[in-house]
A and B are shown apart, each in its own frame.
Chain A
Amino acid sequence: MDFFNAIVAFSNFVIVPATAYGAQLALGALGVTLIFGILRFSNFAHGETMAFGGMVTILVTWAFQSWGISFGPLPTALLALPFGILGTALLLLATDRAVYRFYRVQRASPAILLIVSMGVMFVMNGLVRFIIGPNEQRFADGERFIISAREFKALTGLREGLAFKTTQGITIVTAVVVVALLFWFLNRTRTGKSMRAFSDNEDLALLSGIDPERVVTVTWIIVAALATVAGVLYGLDKSYKPFVYLQLLLPIFASAVVGGLGSPLGAIGGGFIIAFSEITVTYAFKKVFNYLLPENLEFSSLVQLLSTDYKFAVSFSILVIVLLFKPTGLFQGKQT
């Protein structure tokens, strides 16, 4: 029995939250990696793009809620998501026309584009705070749990409960659907193939008649969708605070680099590697170990490798280790 208790406790505090968090990071890292592959720069405004997408979705959710529209047991935010994506796509396309296109035509260096993205980050940051304010916003509704800890205990008779929040379930399902759609698009459609060609070799792609502006436009729209979905899922699962998204930039970049910048598969792998290490390293294993060990050997300390406040240090350490031993990332990204 104790063995099952240990497994349930471990799933409840590590596996389930890390899977949901990993899915959120993977979606964020996919956006970063797509921009890197096709527009060829590290986009420091990506965290703020997620915050903006989350904000638009929240505003539409509130409107729906005030009109009495709901999605049954699921959060209304899912209904508002397409509108959030639309708003974010419009913002990103406008930003591209007003800001990035000028540097693209000049073939500016990635470093200059990175600094430009800092400017965009400031503007978006101000925009989000100007519209929705800097405070925490709640917009989750519907059922809270798929299985609550109490139901699980009653069902199995174990001492440990396994809670599975609706938001965690939605995060995982949505991420799977979005990633499947993205890979179908990149591998099966003509536009997707031209995007990959453009990412692999820009000159060759141009030579074979691919319209670069079209590729860039489609990229921004996909990035808007990915960022909005990631931003909304993170906001639903934890809570929506605009400043958090700037802090998410580090784990997201770490995921993208660990997987290999420019590689979509790598971004997903990287997201889960970072999420699982962050949560495993900062989880106090006392409970799990004490179920497994005989009574006279029990731990009295927390058996926690690092305090939770150091979760940034985990993404950073993994980033440094990968940079030291395999600079192109675990899934072989771009080198230039």
Chain B
Amino acid sequence: MNLKNIALFAVVAVLFVATGVMQSWNVALNIFNMGLISAIMALGVNMQWGYAGLMNIGIVGFVALGGLGAVIVSVEPVGAAWAAGGLRVLLGLAAGAATIVAAIFTWRRMAGHRLRSLAMLALLIVGFVIYRRIFDPAVHAIEAVNPALTGYLGGLNLNILLSWPVGGALAAGAAWIIGKTALGLRSDYLAIATLGIGEIVISILKNEEWLSRGVKNVIGIPRPVPNEIDLQNSASFVERAASIGLDPATASTLTVKIAYSGLFIVVLLILIWATQAALNSPWGRMMRGIRDNETAAEAMGKDVTARHLQIFVLGSAVCGIAGAMMTTLDGQLTPASYQPLRFTFLIWVMVIVGGSGNNWGSVLGGFLIWWLWVQVEPIGLWLINVITLGLADDNALKAHLLASAAHMRLLTMGLVLLLVLRFSPRGLIPEK
């Protein structure tokens, strides 16, 4: 950390403080909490792109899997649904997985070209029929259990903090499957394959109601911090709030948000320490060596595909952790809200603007770009008001421009990304 980098972080800090003073501290803390989560997502993508040069265009899927982890771990199990078909669903999934494993096994072990293809195909078709026979009735039974309130299996009723590593593990599993197929091919193919896995994870969350309640959303996920209303009802809390001159409502919302910030900061610090240590270890040097010259690294006896798979899984796991944290913060899982523009492409802007290959850069990019993403809308509205000052209030052009101000966001993000790539391609805090 040199003086310039400290100054950059100070500028971002000033932005947040200014938001607190000029708008409200609640808004500032909201942005700050999502900024922490964004920084973690950016760290994950930076591991993949910055250390190893792998393009992941399906971040949204890994983030959503983390969110699913939060539901599976923390929500109360729905006993009636488990009785109706819980074990049968698991059996169906096991049958499906066994079919795929058997097909891979057949492909690897059997000799003969045509016979092998036919055997694999037959196995897949029979396996698929068996899987649907077991799986479908169970799903119907589960989704019929009180569909307005539950209609899904629920979770394990464990502490939600446990869901953060679990969300990471889910994302890591998905990353392993996709990495196994697409790594080792030309780099664009990984990008396109991850684009696909992102879409698929989202459609699974939207449609597998027995698992995630789909578009009916899971709300009221348990929180790791106290409820605002409990704080407001506690006499000692109200007293303390009054002693520093705050009304109970504001004090309670601020306290809850600061508590979340504290939890997230701990995770961020652990991850920064781990990623920095990894980057500066022989392993990190090897990764950068592979990125800069694959042929030379291979000649030195490094297994490039295996190392790529390793870092791809690790980076995706970090995105999954961030996804679980975000669902914890929101207190709900809303599958329809996972938009690729917001959760894939915006994270890329953070990594590139911050400086790919540099962990501190990703953290800075996460905070800065997330702040900008939120604040561009009011700034854009103000700007358009200023530009159209000369026009009458009933002017059609002015009305259209004012109504479209919200879309300034996308435009601005694109311009920021293009300008940084053009004039400072190594980002705000370049790799050493």
Instruction: Please list the residues of chain A having a beta carbon within 8 angstroms of any beta carbon in chain B.
Output: 41-42, 44, 99, 102, 110-112, 114-116, 118-127, 129-131, 133-134, 246-247, 249-250, 253-254, 257, 261, 305, 307, 309-310, 312-313, 315-316, 319-320, 323-324, 327, 335-336
Contacts and interface: CB of A to CB of B under 8 A. Distances in A.
Q: How large is the interface on B (under 10, 10 to 19, 20 to 34, 35 or more residues)?
A: 35 or more
A261 B245 CA distance: 65
Contact of A99 (B57, B189, B412, B418): B418
Given A115-B421, A254-B192, A125 B414 contact: yes
Contact of B186 (A124, A324, A335): A335
A309 B341 CA distance: 20
Contacts of B55: 111, 114
Interface SS, A side: helix
Contacts of A319: 192-193, 196
B381 interface: no
Nearest to B415: A123
7 contacts: A42-B188, A44-B57, A102-B422, A114-B55, A116-B418, A119-B421, A253-B195
Contacts of B151: none
A293 B181 CA distance: 40
A123 B128 CA distance: 44
Nearest to A321: B181
Interface stretch (B84-92, B200-208, B266-274, B359-367): B200-208
Interface stretch (B5-13, B385-393, B403-411): B403-411
Contacts of B345: 118, 121-122
A250 B404 contact: no
Contacts, number: 128
Given A115-B352, A307-B207, A250 B199 contact: yes
A114 B191 contact: yes
A42 B191 contact: yes
A320 B193 contact: yes
Given A125-B414, A312-B203, 17 more contacts: A112-B421, A116-B421, A122-B411, A122-B413, A126-B412, A131-B404, A246-B341, A249-B195, A250-B195, A253-B192, A254-B192, A254-B196, A310-B203, A316-B193, A323-B193, A324-B181, A336-B186
Q: What is the predominant secondary structure among interface residues of chain B facing chain A?
A: helix
A67 B182 CA distance: 53
B338 to A, nearest CB: 13
Contact of B181 (A44, A102, A315, A320): A320
Interface string B300-342: 0000000000000000000000000000000000000000110
B293 to A, nearest CB: 13
A38 B206 CA distance: 39
Interface string B407-431: 1111111110110011001000000
A122 B191 contact: no
A276 B408 CA distance: 38
Q: Which of A44, A121, A250 has the most CB of B within 10 A?
A: A250
B355 interface: no
A111 B187 contact: yes
Contacts of A127: 411
B71 to A, nearest CB: 19
The interface centre, meaning the residue of B128, B187, B196, B348 with most chain A CB atoms within 10 A of its CB, is B196
B279 interface: no
B207 A129 contact: no
A118 B181 contact: no
Nearest to B407: A129
Contacts of B126: none
B207 A120 contact: no
Nearest to B214: A309
B425 to A, nearest CB: 8
B172 interface: no
Contacts of A111: 53, 55, 187-188
Contact of A323 (B181, B199, B408): B181
